[in-house]
Amino acid sequence: MPQCGITLEKRGLVETSQHPIAPATGRLGVLFVGLGAVASTVIAGVELIKRGLAEPVGSLAQMGTIRLGKRTEDRAPLIPDFVPLADLDQLVFGAWDPISDTAYEAAIRCGVLDRYTHIEPIAAALKEIEPMPAVFDQQYVRRLSGTNVKPGAGKRELAEALRDDIRNFKAANDCDRMVVILCASTEVFIEPGPAHQSLEAFEAALDANDEAVPPSMLYAYAALKEGVAFINGAPSLTTDVPAMTELAHTAGVPLSGKDFKTGQTLVKTVLAPMLKARMLGLAGWYSTNILGNRDGEVLDDPDSFRTKEKAKLGVLEHILQPSLYPELYGDFHHKVRINYYPPRGDNKEGWDNIDIFGWLGYPMQIKVNFLCRDSILAAPLVLDLVLFTDLAQRAGLTGTQEWLSLYFKSPQHAPDSYPEHDLFIQQTKLKNTLRWLMGEEQITHLEMENED
Ligand SMILES: NC(=O)c1ccc[n+]([C@@H]2O[C@H](COP(=O)([O-])OP(=O)(O)OC[C@H]3O[C@@H](n4cnc5c(N)ncnc54)[C@H](O)[C@@H]3O)[C@@H](O)[C@H]2O)c1
Protein backbone atom coordinates (compact mmCIF):
# COMPACT_ATOMS: atom_id res chain seq x y z
CA MET A 1 0.00 0.00 0.00
CA PRO A 2 1.44 3.43 -0.91
CA GLN A 3 2.34 5.52 2.14
CA CYS A 4 0.49 8.77 2.53
CA GLY A 5 0.70 11.64 4.97
CA ILE A 6 3.69 12.22 7.22
CA THR A 7 6.07 9.46 8.10
CA LEU A 8 6.32 8.80 11.80
CA GLU A 9 9.77 8.01 12.99
CA LYS A 10 11.00 6.56 16.22
CA ARG A 11 12.52 9.30 18.32
CA GLY A 12 14.38 9.00 21.57
CA LEU A 13 12.23 11.42 23.53
CA VAL A 14 13.86 10.34 26.74
CA GLU A 15 17.44 9.20 26.86
CA THR A 16 17.73 5.54 27.68
CA SER A 17 20.82 5.23 29.80
CA GLN A 18 20.57 3.30 33.04
CA HIS A 19 20.58 5.44 36.15
CA PRO A 20 23.00 4.59 38.90
CA ILE A 21 21.02 2.92 41.68
CA ALA A 22 22.74 1.84 44.88
CA PRO A 23 22.06 -1.84 45.63
CA ALA A 24 19.36 -2.74 48.15
CA THR A 25 21.79 -4.23 50.61
CA GLY A 26 21.33 -4.35 54.37
CA ARG A 27 18.24 -3.57 56.40
CA LEU A 28 15.56 -1.00 55.59
CA GLY A 29 14.00 0.60 58.66
CA VAL A 30 10.32 1.53 58.26
CA LEU A 31 8.96 3.87 60.91
CA PHE A 32 5.19 4.34 61.08
CA VAL A 33 3.76 7.51 62.54
CA GLY A 34 0.63 5.93 64.02
CA LEU A 35 0.36 2.24 64.85
CA GLY A 36 -3.35 1.84 64.13
CA ALA A 37 -5.43 -0.19 61.68
CA VAL A 38 -3.38 0.50 58.54
CA ALA A 39 0.08 0.14 60.10
CA SER A 40 -0.73 -3.04 62.04
CA THR A 41 -2.35 -4.61 58.97
CA VAL A 42 0.76 -3.86 56.89
CA ILE A 43 3.15 -5.28 59.49
CA ALA A 44 1.07 -8.42 60.04
CA GLY A 45 0.73 -8.92 56.28
CA VAL A 46 4.46 -8.63 55.65
CA GLU A 47 5.21 -11.09 58.47
CA LEU A 48 2.71 -13.60 57.03
CA ILE A 49 4.00 -13.18 53.47
CA LYS A 50 7.62 -13.60 54.59
CA ARG A 51 6.67 -16.94 56.15
CA GLY A 52 4.83 -18.08 53.02
CA LEU A 53 1.47 -17.91 54.82
CA ALA A 54 -0.14 -15.38 52.45
CA GLU A 55 0.27 -13.74 49.04
CA PRO A 56 0.93 -9.98 48.61
CA VAL A 57 -2.41 -9.42 46.84
CA GLY A 58 -2.85 -5.76 45.84
CA SER A 59 0.88 -5.00 45.67
CA LEU A 60 2.11 -3.86 42.26
CA ALA A 61 5.69 -3.90 43.56
CA GLN A 62 5.36 -7.60 44.40
CA MET A 63 2.90 -9.05 41.88
CA GLY A 64 2.92 -6.62 38.94
CA THR A 65 4.71 -7.12 35.64
CA ILE A 66 6.10 -4.49 33.30
CA ARG A 67 6.14 -4.68 29.52
CA LEU A 68 9.50 -3.82 27.95
CA GLY A 69 10.23 -3.09 24.30
CA LYS A 70 7.88 -3.85 21.42
CA ARG A 71 4.72 -5.91 21.91
CA THR A 72 6.25 -8.61 19.74
CA GLU A 73 9.28 -8.98 21.99
CA ASP A 74 7.27 -10.74 24.67
CA ARG A 75 9.29 -9.23 27.53
CA ALA A 76 7.23 -8.68 30.66
CA PRO A 77 9.27 -9.35 33.78
CA LEU A 78 7.88 -9.14 37.27
CA ILE A 79 8.55 -5.65 38.65
CA PRO A 80 10.64 -6.99 41.58
CA ASP A 81 12.80 -8.87 39.05
CA PHE A 82 13.21 -5.73 36.92
CA VAL A 83 14.06 -3.05 39.51
CA PRO A 84 16.29 -3.62 42.53
CA LEU A 85 13.77 -3.45 45.39
CA ALA A 86 14.47 -4.40 48.99
CA ASP A 87 13.26 -7.91 49.93
CA LEU A 88 10.54 -8.19 52.54
CA ASP A 89 12.90 -9.89 54.98
CA GLN A 90 15.13 -6.81 54.90
CA LEU A 91 12.36 -4.64 56.39
CA VAL A 92 12.48 -3.71 60.09
CA PHE A 93 9.41 -2.01 61.55
CA GLY A 94 9.02 0.57 64.29
CA ALA A 95 6.39 3.18 65.20
CA TRP A 96 5.28 6.11 67.28
CA ASP A 97 1.79 6.26 68.77
CA PRO A 98 0.17 8.10 71.69
CA ILE A 99 -1.59 4.83 72.53
CA SER A 100 0.90 2.33 73.93
CA ASP A 101 -0.56 -0.83 72.31
CA THR A 102 2.01 -3.10 70.67
CA ALA A 103 1.45 -4.05 67.02
CA TYR A 104 -0.13 -7.28 68.34
CA GLU A 105 -2.59 -5.43 70.58
CA ALA A 106 -3.32 -2.87 67.86
CA ALA A 107 -4.03 -5.61 65.29
CA ILE A 108 -6.47 -7.30 67.67
CA ARG A 109 -8.16 -4.06 68.73
CA CYS A 110 -8.63 -2.78 65.17
CA GLY A 111 -10.47 -5.97 64.20
CA VAL A 112 -9.24 -6.01 60.61
CA LEU A 113 -7.61 -9.44 60.59
CA ASP A 114 -8.87 -12.77 61.82
CA ARG A 115 -7.12 -13.36 65.14
CA TYR A 116 -6.51 -17.08 64.80
CA THR A 117 -5.62 -17.22 61.10
CA HIS A 118 -3.65 -14.01 60.68
CA ILE A 119 -2.51 -12.67 64.06
CA GLU A 120 -1.63 -15.55 66.39
CA PRO A 121 0.76 -17.31 63.95
CA ILE A 122 2.97 -14.19 63.96
CA ALA A 123 2.16 -12.97 67.48
CA ALA A 124 5.79 -13.01 68.66
CA ALA A 125 6.94 -10.66 65.86
CA LEU A 126 4.01 -8.29 66.45
CA LYS A 127 4.52 -8.18 70.22
CA GLU A 128 8.09 -6.96 69.68
CA ILE A 129 6.85 -3.74 68.09
CA GLU A 130 6.12 -1.29 70.88
CA PRO A 131 5.40 2.28 69.85
CA MET A 132 7.78 5.03 70.88
CA PRO A 133 6.15 7.96 72.71
CA ALA A 134 4.45 10.22 70.18
CA VAL A 135 4.40 13.93 69.59
CA PHE A 136 0.69 14.43 70.11
CA ASP A 137 -1.55 17.41 70.72
CA GLN A 138 -5.30 17.09 71.08
CA GLN A 139 -5.76 20.51 69.55
CA TYR A 140 -5.08 18.85 66.17
CA VAL A 141 -6.89 15.49 66.67
CA ARG A 142 -9.78 16.17 69.01
CA ARG A 143 -11.44 12.76 69.21
CA LEU A 144 -8.34 11.00 70.54
CA SER A 145 -6.42 10.92 73.78
CA GLY A 146 -3.33 8.98 74.71
CA THR A 147 -0.70 8.81 77.41
CA ASN A 148 2.28 7.52 75.42
CA VAL A 149 3.28 11.08 74.64
CA LYS A 150 6.64 12.86 74.71
CA PRO A 151 7.08 15.45 77.39
CA GLY A 152 8.40 18.81 76.24
CA ALA A 153 6.61 22.00 75.62
CA GLY A 154 8.56 23.42 72.71
CA LYS A 155 8.02 22.33 69.10
CA ARG A 156 11.74 22.63 68.30
CA GLU A 157 12.54 20.43 71.30
CA LEU A 158 9.96 17.85 70.18
CA ALA A 159 11.32 17.80 66.63
CA GLU A 160 14.81 17.21 68.03
CA ALA A 161 13.46 14.34 70.17
CA LEU A 162 11.98 12.74 67.03
CA ARG A 163 15.33 13.11 65.25
CA ASP A 164 16.96 11.28 68.18
CA ASP A 165 14.37 8.50 67.87
CA ILE A 166 15.16 8.06 64.18
CA ARG A 167 18.91 7.95 64.80
CA ASN A 168 18.53 5.56 67.75
CA PHE A 169 16.21 3.23 65.85
CA LYS A 170 18.62 3.13 62.92
CA ALA A 171 21.59 2.31 65.14
CA ALA A 172 19.76 -0.17 67.39
CA ASN A 173 18.40 -2.12 64.42
CA ASP A 174 21.52 -1.84 62.31
CA CYS A 175 19.59 -0.28 59.40
CA ASP A 176 21.28 0.85 56.20
CA ARG A 177 18.42 3.13 55.20
CA MET A 178 15.14 4.38 56.60
CA VAL A 179 11.69 5.48 55.43
CA VAL A 180 9.11 7.27 57.60
CA ILE A 181 5.43 6.93 56.68
CA LEU A 182 2.58 8.91 58.20
CA CYS A 183 -0.36 6.63 59.04
CA ALA A 184 -1.64 8.73 61.94
CA SER A 185 -5.11 10.10 62.56
CA THR A 186 -6.24 12.94 60.32
CA GLU A 187 -5.49 16.35 61.79
CA VAL A 188 -7.87 19.30 61.73
CA PHE A 189 -7.92 21.39 58.57
CA ILE A 190 -5.03 23.84 58.34
CA GLU A 191 -4.85 26.41 55.58
CA PRO A 192 -1.31 26.84 54.20
CA GLY A 193 -0.01 30.15 55.55
CA PRO A 194 3.14 32.29 55.74
CA ALA A 195 4.81 29.84 58.15
CA HIS A 196 4.75 27.16 55.42
CA GLN A 197 6.10 29.14 52.51
CA SER A 198 9.85 28.60 53.05
CA LEU A 199 12.13 26.56 55.24
CA GLU A 200 13.33 29.72 56.97
CA ALA A 201 9.77 30.77 57.82
CA PHE A 202 8.96 27.24 58.99
CA GLU A 203 11.96 27.05 61.31
CA ALA A 204 11.05 30.45 62.77
CA ALA A 205 7.51 29.13 63.35
CA LEU A 206 8.98 26.04 65.02
CA ASP A 207 10.99 28.19 67.41
CA ALA A 208 7.96 30.38 68.12
CA ASN A 209 5.69 27.36 68.85
CA ASP A 210 3.39 28.64 66.14
CA GLU A 211 0.09 26.77 65.95
CA ALA A 212 0.53 26.53 62.17
CA VAL A 213 2.94 23.66 62.94
CA PRO A 214 0.96 20.51 63.84
CA PRO A 215 2.61 17.29 65.12
CA SER A 216 2.58 15.65 61.66
CA MET A 217 4.87 18.42 60.38
CA LEU A 218 7.30 17.78 63.22
CA TYR A 219 7.62 14.14 62.12
CA ALA A 220 8.15 15.18 58.50
CA TYR A 221 10.68 17.82 59.46
CA ALA A 222 12.58 15.38 61.71
CA ALA A 223 12.72 12.69 59.01
CA LEU A 224 13.84 15.03 56.23
CA LYS A 225 16.45 16.67 58.47
CA GLU A 226 17.81 13.17 59.13
CA GLY A 227 18.05 12.57 55.38
CA VAL A 228 15.19 10.05 55.56
CA ALA A 229 12.42 9.84 52.94
CA PHE A 230 8.92 10.76 54.09
CA ILE A 231 5.53 9.54 52.83
CA ASN A 232 2.24 11.13 53.89
CA GLY A 233 -0.61 8.59 53.82
CA ALA A 234 -3.02 10.82 55.74
CA PRO A 235 -4.92 13.78 54.27
CA SER A 236 -3.24 16.17 56.74
CA LEU A 237 -1.39 19.16 55.25
CA THR A 238 2.01 17.94 56.59
CA THR A 239 4.38 17.96 53.59
CA ASP A 240 2.11 19.61 51.02
CA VAL A 241 3.76 22.98 51.56
CA PRO A 242 6.77 24.72 49.97
CA ALA A 243 8.82 24.60 53.21
CA MET A 244 8.84 20.79 53.17
CA THR A 245 9.60 20.40 49.47
CA GLU A 246 12.45 22.87 49.93
CA LEU A 247 13.77 20.82 52.83
CA ALA A 248 13.45 17.56 50.85
CA HIS A 249 15.55 19.09 48.06
CA THR A 250 18.11 20.54 50.44
CA ALA A 251 18.41 17.24 52.29
CA GLY A 252 18.43 15.31 48.98
CA VAL A 253 15.59 12.93 49.88
CA PRO A 254 12.28 11.88 48.27
CA LEU A 255 8.90 12.98 49.51
CA SER A 256 5.36 11.96 48.55
CA GLY A 257 1.72 12.31 49.64
CA LYS A 258 -1.06 12.70 50.39
CA ASP A 259 -3.93 10.47 51.55
CA PHE A 260 -3.88 6.87 50.35
CA LYS A 261 -6.21 6.31 47.38
CA THR A 262 -7.98 3.17 48.53
CA GLY A 263 -11.76 2.84 48.03
CA GLN A 264 -14.25 5.36 46.75
CA THR A 265 -11.67 7.70 45.21
CA LEU A 266 -9.97 4.76 43.50
CA VAL A 267 -13.27 3.99 41.76
CA LYS A 268 -13.91 7.68 41.06
CA THR A 269 -10.58 8.10 39.28
CA VAL A 270 -11.47 5.23 36.96
CA LEU A 271 -15.07 6.21 36.20
CA ALA A 272 -14.48 9.94 35.67
CA PRO A 273 -11.84 9.39 32.93
CA MET A 274 -14.30 6.98 31.30
CA LEU A 275 -16.97 9.70 31.14
CA LYS A 276 -14.46 12.14 29.68
CA ALA A 277 -13.07 9.63 27.17
CA ARG A 278 -16.61 9.23 25.77
CA MET A 279 -17.62 12.92 26.16
CA LEU A 280 -20.52 12.00 28.44
CA GLY A 281 -21.73 14.88 30.61
CA LEU A 282 -21.92 15.02 34.39
CA ALA A 283 -24.73 16.67 36.33
CA GLY A 284 -23.78 15.48 39.79
CA TRP A 285 -21.79 12.97 41.85
CA TYR A 286 -22.95 12.15 45.34
CA SER A 287 -20.58 10.00 47.40
CA THR A 288 -21.35 8.78 50.88
CA ASN A 289 -19.73 6.28 53.24
CA ILE A 290 -20.34 4.53 56.52
CA LEU A 291 -17.25 3.66 58.52
CA GLY A 292 -16.92 2.42 62.08
CA ASN A 293 -13.21 2.29 62.89
CA ARG A 294 -11.13 4.80 64.85
CA ASP A 295 -10.37 6.68 61.63
CA GLY A 296 -14.16 7.10 61.21
CA GLU A 297 -14.44 8.31 64.80
CA VAL A 298 -11.69 10.91 64.29
CA LEU A 299 -13.30 12.01 61.02
CA ASP A 300 -16.56 12.55 62.89
CA ASP A 301 -14.99 15.78 64.13
CA PRO A 302 -16.01 18.39 61.52
CA ASP A 303 -12.52 19.94 61.38
CA SER A 304 -10.78 16.61 60.71
CA PHE A 305 -13.51 15.76 58.17
CA ARG A 306 -12.80 19.06 56.38
CA THR A 307 -9.22 17.91 55.81
CA LYS A 308 -10.46 14.60 54.33
CA GLU A 309 -13.20 16.30 52.31
CA LYS A 310 -10.68 18.63 50.71
CA ALA A 311 -8.47 15.68 49.70
CA LYS A 312 -11.46 13.84 48.18
CA LEU A 313 -13.12 16.73 46.36
CA GLY A 314 -10.30 17.92 44.09
CA VAL A 315 -10.31 14.77 41.97
CA LEU A 316 -13.22 15.45 39.59
CA GLU A 317 -12.26 19.04 38.74
CA HIS A 318 -8.81 17.99 37.64
CA ILE A 319 -9.91 14.97 35.64
CA LEU A 320 -12.92 16.54 33.93
CA GLN A 321 -11.41 19.97 33.22
CA PRO A 322 -14.67 22.01 33.26
CA SER A 323 -12.91 25.01 31.72
CA LEU A 324 -12.17 22.99 28.56
CA TYR A 325 -15.62 21.31 28.46
CA PRO A 326 -18.10 23.80 29.93
CA GLU A 327 -21.14 22.15 28.27
CA LEU A 328 -20.30 18.76 29.79
CA TYR A 329 -18.68 19.55 33.12
CA GLY A 330 -19.23 23.26 33.76
CA ASP A 331 -21.96 22.85 36.35
CA PHE A 332 -21.78 19.51 38.20
CA HIS A 333 -22.56 19.05 41.89
CA HIS A 334 -20.03 17.03 43.87
CA LYS A 335 -20.77 15.99 47.44
CA VAL A 336 -18.74 13.71 49.74
CA ARG A 337 -19.95 12.45 53.11
CA ILE A 338 -18.44 10.12 55.71
CA ASN A 339 -20.70 8.89 58.48
CA TYR A 340 -19.28 7.30 61.62
CA TYR A 341 -21.22 4.07 62.19
CA PRO A 342 -19.47 1.82 64.75
CA PRO A 343 -21.11 -1.55 63.88
CA ARG A 344 -19.21 -1.68 60.58
CA GLY A 345 -15.73 -1.32 62.07
CA ASP A 346 -13.06 -1.23 59.35
CA ASN A 347 -15.51 -2.63 56.76
CA LYS A 348 -16.44 0.58 55.03
CA GLU A 349 -19.44 0.77 52.74
CA GLY A 350 -19.38 3.44 50.06
CA TRP A 351 -22.20 4.52 47.78
CA ASP A 352 -21.88 6.65 44.70
CA ASN A 353 -24.80 8.05 42.78
CA ILE A 354 -23.62 9.54 39.51
CA ASP A 355 -26.02 11.59 37.39
CA ILE A 356 -24.72 11.71 33.84
CA PHE A 357 -26.15 12.80 30.49
CA GLY A 358 -25.62 11.60 26.95
CA TRP A 359 -26.68 12.25 23.34
CA LEU A 360 -29.10 15.19 23.14
CA GLY A 361 -28.76 15.66 26.90
CA TYR A 362 -30.76 12.57 27.95
CA PRO A 363 -30.11 11.78 31.64
CA MET A 364 -28.80 8.45 32.96
CA GLN A 365 -27.53 7.21 36.32
CA ILE A 366 -24.68 5.03 37.51
CA LYS A 367 -24.83 3.50 41.03
CA VAL A 368 -21.80 2.05 42.74
CA ASN A 369 -21.98 0.22 46.04
CA PHE A 370 -18.49 -0.72 47.21
CA LEU A 371 -18.41 -2.96 50.27
CA CYS A 372 -14.73 -2.72 50.99
CA ARG A 373 -12.25 -3.15 53.80
CA ASP A 374 -10.35 0.04 54.41
CA SER A 375 -7.08 -1.29 55.78
CA ILE A 376 -7.03 -4.33 53.47
CA LEU A 377 -7.03 -1.88 50.56
CA ALA A 378 -4.47 0.41 52.20
CA ALA A 379 -1.88 -2.19 53.28
CA PRO A 380 -0.46 -3.09 49.82
CA LEU A 381 -0.24 0.62 48.96
CA VAL A 382 1.92 1.17 52.02
CA LEU A 383 4.20 -1.71 51.06
CA ASP A 384 4.57 -0.42 47.50
CA LEU A 385 5.21 3.14 48.66
CA VAL A 386 7.89 2.00 51.08
CA LEU A 387 9.65 -0.17 48.49
CA PHE A 388 9.45 2.38 45.66
CA THR A 389 10.45 5.26 47.93
CA ASP A 390 13.49 3.29 49.05
CA LEU A 391 14.29 2.70 45.37
CA ALA A 392 13.93 6.45 44.69
CA GLN A 393 16.23 7.16 47.63
CA ARG A 394 18.90 4.80 46.28
CA ALA A 395 18.51 6.27 42.77
CA GLY A 396 19.14 9.79 44.10
CA LEU A 397 15.65 11.13 43.27
CA THR A 398 14.83 14.06 45.53
CA GLY A 399 11.80 16.19 46.34
CA THR A 400 8.20 15.36 45.34
CA GLN A 401 7.87 11.96 43.67
CA GLU A 402 4.97 12.59 41.26
CA TRP A 403 5.46 9.15 39.72
CA LEU A 404 3.94 7.72 42.93
CA SER A 405 0.66 9.65 42.34
CA LEU A 406 -1.03 6.27 41.70
CA TYR A 407 -1.22 5.75 45.45
CA PHE A 408 -2.68 9.08 46.57
CA LYS A 409 -6.06 10.80 46.59
CA SER A 410 -4.45 14.20 46.43
CA PRO A 411 -1.01 13.73 44.88
CA GLN A 412 1.63 16.32 45.67
CA HIS A 413 2.87 17.92 42.49
CA ALA A 414 5.19 20.60 41.14
CA PRO A 415 3.98 24.12 42.03
CA ASP A 416 3.66 25.20 38.38
CA SER A 417 1.67 22.10 37.42
CA TYR A 418 -1.55 20.29 38.41
CA PRO A 419 -2.03 16.88 40.04
CA GLU A 420 -2.58 13.85 37.81
CA HIS A 421 -5.60 11.91 39.12
CA ASP A 422 -6.52 9.52 36.27
CA LEU A 423 -5.59 6.08 37.59
CA PHE A 424 -4.34 4.75 34.27
CA ILE A 425 -2.22 7.81 33.49
CA GLN A 426 -0.80 7.45 36.98
CA GLN A 427 0.00 3.80 36.30
CA THR A 428 1.72 4.72 33.01
CA LYS A 429 3.69 7.42 34.82
CA LEU A 430 4.88 4.94 37.42
CA LYS A 431 5.86 2.22 34.94
CA ASN A 432 7.56 4.68 32.59
CA THR A 433 9.58 6.00 35.52
CA LEU A 434 10.74 2.46 36.29
CA ARG A 435 11.68 1.98 32.61
CA TRP A 436 13.52 5.30 32.64
CA LEU A 437 15.42 4.38 35.82
CA MET A 438 16.52 1.10 34.27
CA GLY A 439 17.45 2.57 30.88
CA GLU A 440 14.55 0.95 28.97
CA GLU A 441 12.57 2.77 26.28
CA GLN A 442 9.33 4.50 27.25
CA ILE A 443 6.14 2.85 26.05
CA THR A 444 4.11 5.55 24.33
CA HIS A 445 1.53 3.26 22.63
CA LEU A 446 2.27 5.02 19.36
CA GLU A 447 1.60 2.24 16.89
CA MET A 448 4.59 3.06 14.69
CA GLU A 449 6.88 2.16 17.55
CA ASN A 450 5.63 -1.38 17.49
CA GLU A 451 6.57 -1.80 13.84
CA ASP A 452 10.10 -2.23 12.66
N1 LIG B 1 -7.53 2.88 55.81
C2 LIG B 1 -7.60 3.50 54.69
O3 LIG B 1 -8.08 2.95 53.76
C4 LIG B 1 -7.07 4.88 54.54
C5 LIG B 1 -7.13 5.48 53.30
C6 LIG B 1 -6.63 6.75 53.13
C7 LIG B 1 -6.07 7.42 54.21
N8 LIG B 1 -6.07 6.84 55.42
C9 LIG B 1 -5.52 7.64 56.52
O10 LIG B 1 -4.49 6.91 57.18
C11 LIG B 1 -4.47 7.30 58.54
C12 LIG B 1 -4.50 6.03 59.40
O13 LIG B 1 -5.71 5.32 59.21
P14 LIG B 1 -6.07 4.14 60.20
O15 LIG B 1 -7.30 3.51 59.66
O16 LIG B 1 -4.88 3.30 60.46
O17 LIG B 1 -6.45 4.95 61.51
P18 LIG B 1 -6.34 4.48 63.04
O19 LIG B 1 -7.17 5.43 63.80
O20 LIG B 1 -6.61 3.03 63.18
O21 LIG B 1 -4.79 4.70 63.35
C22 LIG B 1 -4.22 5.95 63.49
C23 LIG B 1 -3.23 5.88 64.64
O24 LIG B 1 -2.53 7.11 64.69
C25 LIG B 1 -2.30 7.41 66.02
N26 LIG B 1 -1.95 8.82 66.15
C27 LIG B 1 -2.76 9.90 66.20
N28 LIG B 1 -2.03 11.04 66.32
C29 LIG B 1 -0.72 10.65 66.33
C30 LIG B 1 0.50 11.36 66.44
N31 LIG B 1 0.52 12.68 66.58
N32 LIG B 1 1.64 10.65 66.42
C33 LIG B 1 1.64 9.30 66.28
N34 LIG B 1 0.51 8.59 66.17
C35 LIG B 1 -0.66 9.25 66.20
C36 LIG B 1 -3.58 6.99 66.73
O37 LIG B 1 -3.40 6.79 68.11
C38 LIG B 1 -3.90 5.69 66.00
O39 LIG B 1 -3.36 4.57 66.64
C40 LIG B 1 -5.68 8.23 58.75
O41 LIG B 1 -5.27 9.58 58.67
C42 LIG B 1 -6.56 7.90 57.58
O43 LIG B 1 -7.42 8.96 57.23
C44 LIG B 1 -6.53 5.58 55.63
| CATH number of the domain within which 163 lies | 3.40.50.720
Question: Do 393 and 362 sit in the same domain of this protein?
Answer: no
Question: Do 318 and 170 sit in the same domain of this protein?
Answer: no
CA of 295 to the centre of ligand 1 (A): 6
Question: Do 59 and 169 sit in the same domain of this protein?
Answer: yes
CA of 164 to the centre of ligand 1 (A): 23
Better-predicted residue by pLDDT, 369 or 308: 369
Q: Could you read off the pLDDT of 289-311 as tens digits, one per residue?
A: 998 888 888 888 888 888 877 77
Give the distance between the most distant pair of CA atoms in the chain.
79
* pTM for this entry: 0.94
Question: Do 228 and 112 sit in the same domain of this protein?
Answer: yes
Question: Do 334 and 187 sit in the same domain of this protein?
Answer: no
How far is residue 236 from each of residues 268, 329, 331, measured CA to CA in Å?
Answer: 21, 28, 28
Report the b/e string of 8-42 with b at 16+ CB within 10 A: eeeeeeeeeeeeebeebeebbbbbbbbbbbbbbbb
Within a domain: 22: no
Report cis status (omega within 30 of 0) of the bond before 258.
yes
Q: Is the minimum distance from the CB of 99 to ligand 1 under 6 angstroms?
A: yes
Within a domain: 442: no
Q: Is the minimum distance from the CB of 372 to ligand 1 under 6 angstroms?
A: no
- Average confidence (pLDDT) over 30-36: 97
3-state class (DSSP) for residue 254: strand
Within a domain: 451: no
Q: Find the range with the poorest average confidence among 169-183, 204-218, 250-264, 433-447.
A: 433-447
Within a domain: 18: no
Q: Is the minimum distance from the CB of 260 to ligand 1 under 6 angstroms?
A: yes
pLDDT at 3 over 50: no
Dist. CA 337–CA 291, nearest whole Å: 11
How would you class 366 by CB atoms within 10 Å of its CB: exposed for 0-12, middle for 13-18, buried for 19 or more?
middle
- Average confidence (pLDDT) over 96-107: 97
Which of 371, 394, 426 is the C-terminal boundary of a domain? 371
CA of 308 to the centre of ligand 1 (A): 12
pLDDT at 184 over 60: yes
Question: Do 340 and 397 sit in the same domain of this protein?
Answer: no
Q: Is the minimum distance from the CB of 220 to ligand 1 under 6 angstroms?
A: no
Please report which confidence band the pLDDT of residue 448 belongs to, taking 50, 70 and 90 as the band edges. low
- Average confidence (pLDDT) over 338-350: 89
pLDDT of residue 143: 85
Q: Which of 196, 213, 201 is nearest to 157 (CA)?
A: 213
Give the residue, out of 35, 43, 183, with the most ligand 1 atoms within 8 A of its beta carbon, to mutate for a pocket test: 183
Q: Could you tell me the residue range of the domain that residue 190 belongs to?
A: 27-260+376-437
Q: Is the minimum distance from the CB of 281 to ligand 1 under 6 angstroms?
A: no
Within a domain: 8: no
Question: Do 78 and 143 sit in the same domain of this protein?
Answer: yes
Within a domain: 399: yes
The secondary structure element, H or E, covering residue 257 is strand 254-257
The total domain count for the chain is 2
Question: Do 383 and 361 sit in the same domain of this protein?
Answer: no
Which of 371, 394, 420 is the C-terminal boundary of a domain? 371
- Could you tell me the CATH number of the domain that includes residue 314? 3.30.360.10
Which of 371, 393, 409 is the C-terminal boundary of a domain? 371
Q: Could you read off the pLDDT of 264-288 as tens digits, one per residue?
A: 999 999 999 999 999 999 999 999 9
Q: Is the minimum distance from the CB of 162 to ligand 1 under 6 angstroms?
A: no
pLDDT of residue 418: 87
Q: Is the minimum distance from the CB of 149 to ligand 1 under 6 angstroms?
A: no
Q: Is the minimum distance from the CB of 215 to ligand 1 under 6 angstroms?
A: yes
Nearest atom in ligand 1 to the alpha carbon of residue 219 is 32
Question: Do 194 and 53 sit in the same domain of this protein?
Answer: yes
Q: Find the range with the poorest average confidence among 48-62, 142-156, 230-244, 274-288.
A: 142-156
